[in-house]
Amino acid sequence: MKITVMTSDEQILTLDVDRDESVENLKALLEVETQVPLQQQQLLYNGKEIRNPDKLSALGVGDGDLVMMVANNASSRGSQSELGLNPDGSAANPSAFQQHVRNDSNTMAQLFQRDPELAQVLLGNDINKLQEVLRARHRQTSELKRRQEEQMALLYADPFDVEAQKKIEEAIHQKGIDENWEAALEHNPEAFARVVMLYVDMEVNGVPLKAFVDSGAQSTIISKSCAERCGLLRLLDKRYKGIAHGVGQTEILGKIHVAPIKIGPNFYPCSFMVLDAPNMEFLFGLDMLRKHQCTIDLKENVLRVGGGEVAVPFLSEKDIPSHFLDEERFAKDASGSGTQAASATKTNSSSQGGPSGSARQGPDFEAKVSRLMELGFGREQVIQALNFLDGNEEAAASYLFGG
């Protein structure tokens, strides 16, 4: 197993040792590495001194654990008290501990891979948060040791005890999950980091915008406030009103049939669905991605437009406005609205039932069929969808587009 040893003179050592190695042999190995005589070494684990005859496994030292080493002389006693850990896992002197770890770039690099939360707290200024995280890590380690002890007890359990066998099965299952998590930390640490959504710089009718690129949304969407800022609201065709159902519910105010957008040095015609969506500004959806032969090139981190004639870089996190980075809600709402925007059907002033989808099955059933057929679907297909969805025109349109 591998353990990390932090010395009082700010050395960080990673040692490969046997679980049943004695503390004395560990000190001998450290003497070679640090030139500190074995007799002058004092090793601390979880804030307590560990003695020469003890074995690491008996002390509970496990793979990846941290052991502190201080020189056993008067000048080092201050370092011992500053860098030691309390029985609950918190730092005896959190400020000194924080500064000590910060100063070691190798340790910080390892922490960013293995424990990014602790690394971020160490770089911050919240000492209380640091102590909370250190205590939480101590509790996790203690819980893991407790489970390991239970597993050892199960090995000696009655093989014909049904409950014991169930616990053994659960322990094996949990062990597989833990091993998979550890493998992910080692080989795929980026999976634990936040993924920044894809944004590019565009101009809509001459107004610079940060466009959210979403191939999972059927339609390109612009908010009412953004359309007004770009001078496009005067072109809003309200005959395309509707309701976008999906993650939540958003009103579709209408459609802007064509307006110029600038991507890189080139201009392209674009159509938009206009939504009353305060949490979203401009979403570049699948309809325009297809129309302009766009490619999302994640290797080069660029959006290629026009079959590759233009390539614009995706924005880094620092270039994206902070209010856009509520990514979970933004992505869900935008993708949901984008998918459902295509389900809005054209309405007109002579419609008895008001906005599309509000009429119920009955005398106006044929009118619903006709409107849905205008969208390009066959009569039998439309009737089947309306019957399946109890005559709900909007839901039928969404079902037909989604199918």
Both tokens of residue 48?
A: 């307590």
Short-list 216, 195, 229, 171, CA closest to 341: 216
Please give the pLDDT value at position 289.
93
Residue 296 has pLDDT above 90, yes or no: yes
Residue 100 has pLDDT above 50, yes or no: yes
Both tokens of residue 369?
A: 């069929």
For residues 344 and 273, the answer to whether their CB atoms sit within 8 Å is yes
| Catalytic residue chosen out of the listed positions 54, 158, 178, 214 | 214
Please give the pLDDT value at position 293.
92
Residue 114 has pLDDT above 60, yes or no: yes
Distance, CA of 67 to CA of 85 (rounded, Å): 10
Distance, CA of 13 to CA of 274 (rounded, Å): 59
For residues 62 and 141, the answer to whether their CB atoms sit within 8 Å is yes
For residues 271 and 220, the answer to whether their CB atoms sit within 8 Å is yes
* Local confidence band at 54 (pLDDT 50, 70, 90 cut-offs): confident
Distance, CA of 275 to CA of 252 (rounded, Å): 5
Question: Please, what are the domains in the chain?
Answer: 2-158 (3.10.20.90), 199-341 (2.40.70.10), 365-402 (1.10.8)
Distance, CA of 241 to CA of 274 (rounded, Å): 9
Task: Report DSSP letters for 179-193, one per residue.
Answer: HHHHHHHHH-GGGGS
For residues 201 and 304, the answer to whether their CB atoms sit within 8 Å is no
Task: Report DSSP letters for 200-224, one per residue.
Answer: EEEEETTEEEEEEE-TT-SS-EEEH
Q: What is the mean pLDDT of residues 322-348?
A: 46
User: Does 9 participate in catalysis according to the annotation?
Assistant: no
Query: What own/partner pairs with CB < 8 Å and gap ≥ 24 does 47-53 have?
Result: 47/84, 47/85, 47/86, 47/87, 47/92, 48/87, 50/23, 51/23, 52/22, 52/23, 52/24, 52/27, 53/22, 53/23, 53/24
Residue 15 has pLDDT above 60, yes or no: yes
Q: Which amino acid is at 238?
A: K
What would the pLDDT profile of 69-93 be if each residue is shown by its tens digit?
887 654 444 444 555 678 888 888 8
* Local confidence band at 10 (pLDDT 50, 70, 90 cut-offs): low
Q: Give the residue carrying structure tokens 């002890």.
A: 149
Query: What own/partner pairs with CB < 8 Å and gap ≥ 24 does 108-111 have?
Result: 110/4
Please give the pLDDT value at position 331.
45
Backbone angles phi, psi at 359, to 5 degrees: -75, 150
Please give the pLDDT value at position 154.
64
Better-scored residue on pLDDT, 363 or 127: 127
Look at residue 234 and give its three-state secondary structure: helix
Better-scored residue on pLDDT, 70 or 295: 295
Q: Which helix (H) or strand (E) holds 274?
A: strand 266-275
Residue 329 has pLDDT above 60, yes or no: no
Please give the pLDDT value at position 123.
84
What residues does 3 pair with on adjacent strands? Answer: 15
Residue 9 has pLDDT above 90, yes or no: no
Q: What's the N-to-C CA distance of the chain in angstroms?
A: 53
Better-scored residue on pLDDT, 273 or 391: 273
* Local confidence band at 152 (pLDDT 50, 70, 90 cut-offs): low
Query: Rounded to two decimals, what is the model's pTM?
Result: 0.46
